Amino acid sequence: MHKPDSLSSEALDDLEASVGVLMVVWGRSAERIKPKVSPSQLRALVVVDRHGSINLMSLADELGSIPSVTSRLCDRLQAAGLLDRVAGADDRREVMLQLSKDGRRLLRQFRRERQADLKQVLSAMTPRSRSALLTGLSAFYAAATELGLPDEELA
């Protein structure tokens, strides 16, 4: 690893490699949840969960997708019992998407698995390294937020 103050290509390569490993640890938990869902389905469930209730157009916008593709994705999630479509409170013609009971259970399982994976790695680190990592990630988050980078896209 290179010195922290360096923004050399080697330091960026080190950062990229570390983030890659973090993403692998982060993503492993999705492989153990039942029923199996694709990364795009999981992301849709996370977005719906964050909003509590969201219409198809808004979900498509957040996913960076077109409504017809998002509708088919929601059809599959609904068929799997993970998503419910309900009439809108203000406009009964508007269809709102909400997590079903099984959808909420799946996301709880996903988050428990993800936290267990993170805890395993963090436990293997020294307290000092763990503290430095958390301090650095907090600063990274603050800088990214200040730059206006979206932080809501993560599962």
pLDDT digit string (tens) for 15-67?
Answer: 899 889 888 888 888 888 888 899 899 999 999 999 999 999 999 999 999 99
Convert the pLDDT of each residue in 57-108 to its tens digit: 999 999 999 999 999 999 999 999 999 999 767 776 778 999 999 999 999 9
Cβ count within 10 A of residue 100: 16
Q: Which residue has the tokens 């307290």?
A: 127
**Distance between CA atoms of residues 111 and 36, nearest Å:** 15
Distance separating alpha carbons of residues 61 and 63, to the nearest angstrom: 5
Residue with tokens 């808004």: 58
Contact 110, 99 (CB under 8 A): no
